[in-house]
Amino acid sequence: MAIFLLNRLGYEVVAISGKRDSADWLANLGADSVIERSYFSDVPDRPLLKG
């Protein structure tokens, strides 16, 4: 719902999904682009990890 509303208000909407088959659905809602969640989980040295 937020994707649809933000798109209608003229914002550039970037969605993040863990499922590859959701990209078309998110684009139909109004997402301008879809990023896979794995893109962020492969980042080493995340600052919020326990020390």
Per-residue pLDDT of the chain (51 residues; tens, 9 = 90+): 899 999 999 999 999 998 988 999 999 999 999 999 888 776 666 666 665
Residue 51 placed within a domain: no
Structurally, how many domains does the chain consist of? 1
Residue 8 placed within a domain: yes
Rounded alpha-carbon distances, angstroms, from residue 29 to 16, 20, 43? 13, 15, 28
Residue 46 placed within a domain: no
The pLDDT of residue 8 is: 96
C-alpha 40/C-alpha 48 separation (Å) is: 13
Residue 18 placed within a domain: yes
Residue 16 placed within a domain: yes
Look up the domain containing 35 and give its range: 2-41
C-alpha 6/C-alpha 4 separation (Å) is: 6
